[in-house]
Each structure stands twice: as C-alpha cells, then as structure tokens.
Amino acid sequence: MIVLVVILLDQAMKFYIKTNYYYGEERNILGHWFKLHFIENEGMAFGMKISETPIGKLILTLFRLGAVSFGFYLLKQLVNKGYTRGMIICGALILAGALGNLLDSMFYGMIFTESSYHMANVAHLGHGYGKFLYGRVVDMMYFPLFTLKLPDGLPLLGGKEFSFFDPVFNIADAAISVGVITLVLFQNKLLKKKTEPDAPKVMGQAN
C-alpha cells in the first residue's frame, strides 16, 4: 500500500506539472519558501548525473530497472524474515521512490511532447520527445528556505550567496530520502528482527 500510494501521488503530481507548467515556470505556494518550479533531468535524484552522453542515460535507466526488480524481492524477504514494521516501511519508501523515477525514465519520452520555455506550448500527451528508456525525470518541489552571504574571508566561496535548500526534487526523491535518513538515524532499532513471543508454560513444568 505504501508503494502504491507514493507512486500514485508522485505520478499525479508529475502529470499535472508536465501538462500545466511551461519549462522553468515557478509559482509560489507557501510564501517564498515553498515553490513549484518545473525542471527535468536525465540523471539521478536531485538532478545528479553519471554522464552527459546518451549511453550514460541508458546505463542509469537499466540500473534503476535492475535495482527496482531486486528491491521487490528484497522487500518480500524483509517481510518473510520478520523484520520490524519500521524497517519494512523504510524499504517500501525507498522502493517506491526508485520506481517512481524509473517510470519517468522508461515512458515519459514516449508519451509526452517536448516541454517548452513558452507559456503557450506546455507539453501534452502525444508524439513523444524521445525513445523508450530515454525519458527525463520531472522535478518540481523547491524549498529555498533562506539565503545568506558567505564571509568574504572564506576560501573559494567568500562573498558568494548561499541558498538553502537549492535542489529541486519530486515526491519520489522525497520518499527515498525519508527512507534512507530514517534507516541511518535509527538503524540500531530498525535493522533487527521482531522477537518471537515466549511460548506459554505448561502448568507444573519445571523452571
């Protein structure tokens, strides 16, 4: 259910942004600290890439496909081996996020037209801008919480403005991040199997 809910929310948001925003469009949602800002990327979470070439994109998509396939198997093993509910929830969040971005990479190039910087030419379902496995991931969530100017005496970065949080991401990225961060912070509790309840003692049985 967690995987299904995350996928539905993630894909619904991406479909809405892709078909209602022109490329680069930005709208304030909650003041100036939460915005929807439409961009696309061919890489990993938060716009990271392993290569600028088409073969790099193909390798990344195939890696995602393999990781998601293994993820379903691994999640089933966690359930069967009796790991804690928290561990299973974290695994489901990570798997759902990976699957959400994989769907973009696999199919969006085939089903959506190219996004444009012009308001009158937002994308729509139709003749695709790319081939199978070469779709771009849709990102839109932007939280520029604060901006500050770094001290002039700081090496390399002195005098420059620093904005937190700059990366633009999507619901799938957020699910992966929540799952991973929770596992890191609470690994001692989550990476354990549930203890079996003690068997009831028979009356008169010796201690």
Q: In what order do the strands lie in the sheet with 137-142?
A: 26-30, 34-41, 137-142
Structure tokens at 35: 């915005």
Q: What is the pTM of this model?
A: 0.83
| Residue 135 placed within a domain | yes
Write down the pLDDT at residue 150.
75
* 140 and 35 Cβ atoms separated by less than 8 Å: no
pLDDT single digits (tens) 13-68: 999 999 999 999 999 999 888 999 999 987 665 555 555 567 878 888 898 899 99
| Residue 82 placed within a domain | yes
Write down the pLDDT at residue 114.
94
| Residue 76 placed within a domain | yes
**From 104, 152, 173, 198, the catalytic residue:** 173
Phi-psi region of 81 (alpha: psi -120 to 50; beta: other; left: phi over 0): alpha
Write down the pLDDT at residue 178.
96
Query: Distance (Å, rounded) from C-alpha 117 to C-alpha 22?
Result: 5
| Residue 98 placed within a domain | yes
173 in active site: yes
Number of domains forming the structure of the chain: 1
Query: Distance (Å, rounded) from C-alpha 35 to C-alpha 25?
Result: 10
| Residue 198 placed within a domain | no
Domain hosting 166: range is 2-150+160-190
* 176 and 98 Cβ atoms separated by less than 8 Å: yes
Pick out the chain residues at pLDDT < 50.
196, 198-199, 207
| Residue 14 placed within a domain | yes
Position 189, amino acid: K
Query: Distance (Å, rounded) from C-alpha 59 to C-alpha 70?
Result: 16
- Would strands 137-142 and 146-149 be described as parallel, antiparallel, or unpaired? unpaired
Write down the pLDDT at residue 204.
54
166 in active site: no
**From 139, 152, 166, 198, the catalytic residue:** 139
* 95 and 72 Cβ atoms separated by less than 8 Å: yes
| Residue 207 placed within a domain | no
Terminal Cα-to-Cα distance of the chain (whole angstroms): 44
| Residue 196 placed within a domain | no
